[in-house]
Each structure stands twice: as structure tokens, then as C-alpha cells.
Structure 1
Amino acid sequence: MNADAETAETGRAGPAVLPLYAAGFVTAFGSHGIAANLGFTGDLGSQLITLGILLALYDGAEILLKPVFGALADRIGLRPVLLGGLFGFALASAAFVLVGNPALLGVARFAQGAAAAAFSPSAGALIGRIAPQRRQGRAFGSYGAWKGLGYTAGPLLGGALVAAGGYPLLFTTLTVLAIAVFVWTVLVVPDPPPLPRHREGLGALLRRLGNRGFLPPTLALASSAAALSVGVGFLPLVGAGDGLGPIATGAAVSVLAVVGSLTQPVIGRVRDAGRIGDRTALVVGTLLTAVGLGFPAVVGHLAGLLVAAVLIGLGTAMITPVAFAVLAASSPRERLGQTMGSAEIGREIGEAGGPFLTGVLAATLGLGGGFLGIAVLVALTAIGGARVLRSA
């Protein structure tokens, strides 16, 4: 009996999905744990240039390679690509420690990003394959919550590790973590065979990726990622402008991450129970996120930051599990890896583009104008959410 049939009969994926959640934590922790703790010597200009390059390398590798590895996973199997990515992540992290040359940090970051491009969409696609249809929202909600935990813990835990033992200790920890998830995956995650695929030309691919089952949820994921990045990067600036210290502004960012992580599994369960439709969840989640982004432009100080953090956290928590569940339900199962890989490109673009657009708008309109501008853009993506196939 294959994995799809087995989970369909049992009605649950059981412990098989837990290593997939852990894989989501690895990529989030690996990305933010290093990115938030990059330190350099030299003049400020060279620091900023180097910082920008190092921050872009990880996400750049993912943007370039996720569709490639997603298509490969559909061809040879999701589990082998997942395992290869985890092993590659561990190898890249360990190599940096063994070589001991800080100048190779950029190479290590690109290699880690390339490995994450393999195992991240494969983990998402495997959840879509082995979690039963009636529990997909809950499964993707838990997956998003574990990634959120990685984003939250990454800067703090990464900073503690760097303070205790420098980059070698941080990269050693990432190596051990990736190996542990690799072994866990080998032991408990099933290996669903690749499904037969019909030949698909470029025109058919573009039509499939442009339909209502792919484009609206991917656009929602992009706006969600943009909002999270803007919140993490710019909410502290609002607090600092109002005279708040780093503890208060850091608390606001933590509230955003914690609310999102705790709420996603709940939203997934509500969605699976049929108490909220996909269309409603995406539209309401997007509008909540937009209101949260616009709030700091109207109300400042700690209260304004906390309200903004809660609204952004709730909004993105509504979007993420539902959007992934819609993608999994609407994609041909034999091309689920390619679908997830392509959808995650939308997230990466949103994560990079949101702060960039906010910064450009803030440079000309002030910080409040930057928040209002990105809030309007996010609100407009609700039009896409209204076009998904299933509604409440």
C-alpha cells in the first residue's frame, strides 16, 4: 500500500509529518539565525555592501533553485530530494566550520540556501501527499507554526550561540540540527513513489500556474511574507522614533511572531472543520494584515506597535495554512513538488520586495507613508484571494 492510500484509510498522517515540521524549522532558523547576527569590520559603507550581499545569497539561491528542485522531486521522488537537501545543508554548515575561514561565509550561505531550496518545497509537498485531505489545513498550519518558531528563535538563539562561540558554534549547531532531522526523516517519513506524469509543454505549465488554484494563494503568500518582513524590519524603527528602547520594540516583534505561530494551527483546524472557507480566510486575513501594517502610521508608541503586531500576526496566520492547503488541493498530485517550489518563489519575492518597497516609500513619504503605502498594496492582493475556487 502506498503512502497516499495508507493515509487516506487511516485518516491521519501521524508522526510522519513531524520531521517535515522540523525541516521547516531548520530552514527558518538557518536563514534568520545567521542573517540577524552578521558582524563585520571596516568602514560602514563596505559593511553595508557586504551585509546586503550576504543577506541576498541565501534567498537568491532559493529563488533560483526551488522550482528546479521541485520539478526534480516530482520526477525522482519527494523523500530523496528532501533527504538530499538536509544532507547538503549539514554538509555546507560543517564545511564552513572545518575550513575555518570567515571569508567563505558567503559561499556557505549560498550553499545552505541551495540545500534549503531542495528540502523546503519537498517538505511542503510531502505534507500535501501524506496528510489526509480533511486535515490539510491543520497540517500546513503546524508546518507554518514551526517555521514561525524558527524565524522567532533564530535571531535570539543565533545571537546567543555567536556570543558563546562565534560563527563556528552557530554553524556546528545547524549541522547537528540538520543531521538530526535527516535521521528522523529516514526513520519515520514514508517514501511515496513518483506519480505518472503526462508530458507538459511550456504553454500548459504557464496556464496551470496562472489558474485560480495557484496564482491567488501564491499572491496571498507573497503579501504575507512581505508583511512579516516589514513588521520585523520596520516596527522597531517606529518605536525608536517614539523614544522606545530596544526591549520594548523587540517585544512588539516577538508578539507578531508568537501570535502568528500560535494561531496558524488553530486556523488550520477551523478551515478543515468547514467553519471558514478558503476564500473568506484569504480575504479577511489579507485585510487584517493590511490594517495592521497601516496602524503604525496612525497610532504610535508601544500600544500602536502591539496592536499592529497582533493584527499582522493574526492576518498572516489566516493566510499561510489556507493558501498552502489550496495549493495542495488544486495541484495535480504528480506535480505537487513543482507547484510548491514555484509557490515558495512568491514568498521569497514578497519577503525581499516588501521591505524594499517600504524603504523606497519611506524615503520619500516618511516612515508613516511607507507603512501606508505597503498596507495599500497588501490590501489590493485581497482581490486575488476573492478569486480562489472554494468560498465560505
Structure 2
Amino acid sequence: MDKRLVPVYAAGFVTAFGAHSIAAGLGGYTEGEHASLLTLGLLLAVYDGAEIVLKPVFGALADRVGPRPVLLGGLVAFAVASTAFVLAGDPALVGLARLGQGAAAAAFSPAAGALVARLAPKTGHGRAFGGYGAWKGLGYTLGPALGGVLITLGGYALLFGTLGGLALAVAAWAAAAVPVVQPLPRTRQTVLDLVRRLATRGFLRPTATLAGATAAVAVGVGFLPVAGAAAGLGPLVTGVVVSLLAAAGALVQPWAGRARDADRIGDATGMVAGLVLAALGLASAVVLPGIAGLLAAAVAIGAGTGLATPIGFAHLAAATPPARLGQTMGVAEVGRELGDAGGPLFVGALAAAGSLGLGMAGLEGVLVVFAASVAFSARR
């Protein structure tokens, strides 16, 4: 493992751990503050909303000034937003704190992706993005459990204080270990040029893959517990199922990246196989009864997204001019965020109109369509 990339991976852990550790405890927060479910929804959405709006902006800034200062600035801003909540001592400011954290994550996430692509050799992009994804997966896995422990021990002040200290420590580590990566000369780009570049298969294929894979994970995390509860399973069992999904994705990503770099699996094959495997996982939750269906779904969704994600990012990096990596990563990350938000909304709407099985089947169909589109465009 390239030691220069480890603090960049740690930055990915910060954003994943920060997002899920707080989100998992917001239900208890709203209950304690006697807030409505609408308030809970807004508190959950504000982090992702800031990322959707700002990631392309900070990605373009990373191309202009270099990704390293944007990474460091984002981590410091994340620490400031977290620490400010602790110093304010007002629980009602949690929404404002999450907005600040989301804006900061919007800065260092695309910068981290650009650094992974710039610092790793092109023949090692799969392994590098697999490692980055594994660290993020670890943050998603540990976030709810450790966040709950911190909230139990010291309330939200301890959780936000821990996040602030963690972000500041990673920023110091990155400042010491990540080398300066100079911005590359860029030709002038009009809006039409940007649209044309983002309309190419080299951008659309991996971005659709990343959006679909992220949607599958979001639906698995949100709705597999619902299916488990309907089958009479308790929260402990369904919590284990969600953790298994995250762990499967974290374990598969490094393997998928190494297989891609060693030419054991092609980019199109990996993206298609990952989407199909995730779709089969959604089907398992509906077709197989009880705990067997949930376990099969968790493993298949996690493994499918773990296969598709590093290959999608590596393919995106290979198809992007090096001088535009930050901008491209920022826009692609918006696709992931839309999948993260749109997947549960899509399944929830279908479930409300019919049943949870109909919702799962609907997203399964979307993933199959994405997989077929990737396969067709690769043949062309």
C-alpha cells in the first residue's frame, strides 16, 4: 500500500463515519427534542444536500489550485463545524452543524478521489480505489455502533467532539504525508465542452454504475430491516444484517480493484456483474423466506456494490483528462448522492402504492437496465 494514500483513505473514513454515526442517532435526538418526522427527514437530508450542490464546485477548485489544499481545507472545515457545535452547547443547532459538515465533506471527497487517481499509477487505479472504498465501507460499518456508544457515554457533544478531533488528526496526517500535487495546465472549457465531455460513454457508464450501486446499498440499509421486522425478526438480527452488507462491500472492494489491475476482470464486465449481483440481492430479499433471504440479500448487495464501485471509479479516472479529474469526480459523486437519495425514495413510493416486494422489484429492474446499458455501450 502506498503510504502517501493512507491519509487520503482516512479522509474517506471521516466522511463515512461522520455521516452514519450521526444519522443513526438522529431518531433518538428527535424523540428527545419532541421533533416531528419531517424534522428528522430534514436533518438526514441536509448533509447529502450540501454535498450534491457543492461537490462539483469544489471538484473544479481542486483542478484549479490542486487537490491537496482542498482536501486539507475540507478536513479542517469539518473539524471546525463539529467543534463549533460542542462549544455552542445548544442541541437545536445539530442541523446547522450537519450542514457545515456536509459542505466540508463536499470539499475533501472529490479532492480525495482526484488524489487517488493522480498519486496511484494508472496500472494500479483499481487497487487504489478499492482501498479507498474499503476505508469508507469501514466508516459506514462502524459509524452506527460507535456513534451510539459515544452518544450513550457523553451525548451528542462527545460524538461531535470526537468527529472534530478525528478530522483534525487526519488533516495533520495528510499535511505531513500527502505530497503536493500541482494543478495541470488546462485548455479553456466552455459549458458546451463540459456537457459534451459528461455525455461521453466514458463518463456515463461508470457514473450510472456508481449511482445504481449506491442506490442498492441505501435501499438495503433502509429496507432490509423493514423486511426483517415484517418477518418477525428483532432489531438485533436486522442490525447484524445491515452490518453484514457493509462488511461484504468493504471486503470485496480491494479484491475487485486488484483483479481489475491484473486484467482478470474487464471494466465493463465488472460493472455489469456488480449491478446484476446487487439486483439478485434485492430479489433474494423478496423471494427467499425469513432470515435466509435477508442474509443472502445482504451478502449479494454488498458484494455487488463492492465489485462495481472501485472498477467504476477506476474506469472514470482512466477516461478523464488528468487536468479535469477533480471536476469529473465531483460531478460523478453527485450521481452517487442522487442514487443514495433516489433509491430509497423510489422503493418507498412503489411500496406505498403496492408492497415492499414491488418496490424492491422496481429497483431491481432499474439495476438490470443500467447493467444492460453498460454492456451494450461497451460492445459499441
Aligned counterpart for 1:125 among listed residues 93, 114, 129: 114
Q: Using the alignment, how far apart are the partners of 1:26 and 1:330 within structure 2?
A: 28
Are 1:113 and 2:102 counterparts? yes
Please give the residue correspondences for 1:3-14 in structure 2 after superposition, counting only pairs within 5 Å: 14=2
Q: Which residue of 2 aligns with 1:233?
A: 222
Matched-pair contact (CA < 8 Å) for 1:32–1:154: yes
The amino acid across from 1:322 in the alignment is: I
Structure 2 segments unaligned to the other structure (5+ residues):
none
Distance of 2:18 and 2:180 partners within structure 1: 25
Show the counterpart of 1:83: 72
Please tell me the residue identity of whatever aligns with 2:13. F
Q: Residues 328-339 of structure 1: matches in 2 within 5 Å?
A: 328-339=317-328
SS across alignment from 2:36 = helix
- Cα distance change, pair 106–43 in 1 and its aligned pair in 2 (3 A): closer
1:347 aligns with 2:326: no
Q: Which residue does the alignment assign to 2:18?
A: 30
Counterpart Cα distance in 2 of 1:331 and 1:52:
36
Q: Contact (CA 8 Å) 1:238, 1:300: kept in 2 or not? A: no
**1:204 corresponding residue in structure 2:** 193
Q: CA deviation at 1:300?
A: 2.4
**Match for 1:23: what amino acid?**
A
1:252 aligns with 2:241: yes
Question: Mean Cα displacement is larger for which, 248-257 or 65-74?
Answer: 248-257
Aligned mates of 2:168, 2:343 — CA distance in 1: 33
1:387–1:178 Cα change, 3 Å:
farther
Does 1:54 pair with 2:43?
Answer: yes
Whether contact under 8 Å (1:73, 1:337) holds in the other structure is: yes
Instruction: Quote the offset at 1:389 in angstroms.
Output: 5.5
Match of 1:224 among 200, 209, 213: 213
Selected match of 1:300 from 273, 284, 289? 289
Residues 1:377 and 2:366 are matched in the alignment: yes
When residues 263 and 388 of structure 1 are mapped into structure 2, their CA distance, relative to the original with a 3 A threshold, is: farther
1:40 to 27, 30, 40: 30
Q: Is the 8 A contact 1:23 1:181 kept in 2?
A: yes
State the partner residue of 1:138: 127
Q: Deviations over 1:116-157 (max 9, x none)?
A: 000011001100000011111011001011101111111111
Residue by residue over 1:57-115, the C-alpha shift from the partner in whole angstroms, topping out at 9 and shown as x without a partner, is 10000000000000011001100000000000000000000111111111110000000
Counterpart of 2:180 in structure 1 is: 191
Distance in 1 (CA, whole Å) between partners of 2:243 and 2:152 is 21
| 3-state SS in 2 of match to 1:280 | helix
Q: Unaligned regions of 5+ residues in structure 1, if any? A: 1-12
Change (3 A) 1:283 1:254: same
Q: SS where residue 354 of structure 2 aligns?
A: helix
**Distance in 1 separating the partners of 2:264 and 2:6:** 25
Counterpart position of 1:361: 350
In 2 relative to 1, CA 43–110 (structure 1 residues): closer, same or farther, beyond 3 Å?
closer
Tell me which amino acid in the other structure corresponds to 1:22.
A
Aligned-residue offset at 1:390: 9.2
Is 374-383 or 26-35 further displaced after alignment? Answer: 374-383
Measured after TM superposition, the shift of residue 388 of structure 1 is: 5.9
CA contact (8 A) 2:129 2:313 kept: yes
Over aligned residue pairs, what C-alpha RMSD do you find?
Answer: 1.4
Determine if contact 2:270/2:311 at 8 Å carries over to the other structure: yes
Q: Give the corresponding residue for 1:6.
A: none
Counterpart residue type for residue 233 of structure 1: G
Q: Distance in 2 between matches of 1:316 and 1:297?
A: 19
- 1:377 shift after superposition: 1.0
Other-structure match for 2:298: 309
Counterpart of 2:313 (choices 319, 324, 332) is: 324
Q: Is 1:16 equivalent to 2:1 in the alignment?
A: no
1:148-183 superposed Cα distances (whole Å, 9 cap, x missing partner): 111111111101100110000000100111011001
Check whether the contact 1:292–1:308 (CA below 8 A) recurs between aligned residues: yes
Report the count of equivalent residues: 378
CA distance in 2, matches of 1:208, 1:17: 28
Q: CA deviation at 1:379?
A: 1.3
By how many angstroms is 1:387 displaced? 5.1
Offset, 1:295: 1.4
Give the distance between the partners of 1:390 and 1:72, measured in 2 at CA.
35
Change (3 A) 1:326 1:390: farther
Supply the distance in 2 between the matched residues of 1:204 and 1:132 (Cα, whole angstroms).
27
Q: How far apart, CA to CA, are the structure 1 residues paired with 2:125 and 2:266? A: 13
Partner of 2:355: helix, strand, or coil? helix
- Alpha carbons of structure 1 residues 185 and 390: separation in structure 2 relative to 1, 3 Å: farther
Give the Cα–Cα distance (whole angstroms) in 2 for the partners of residues 342 and 234 of structure 1: 27
Q: Distance in 2 between matches of 1:268 and 1:175?
A: 31
Matches of 2:75 and 2:240 in 1, distance apart?
Answer: 32
Q: Sequence identity of aligned pairs in percent?
A: 59
Query: Using the alignment, how far apart are the partners of 1:61 and 1:384 within structure 2?
Result: 30
Alpha-carbon deviations, 1:169-220, whole Å to 9, x = none?
0001001110110011011101110000000111110010110111110010
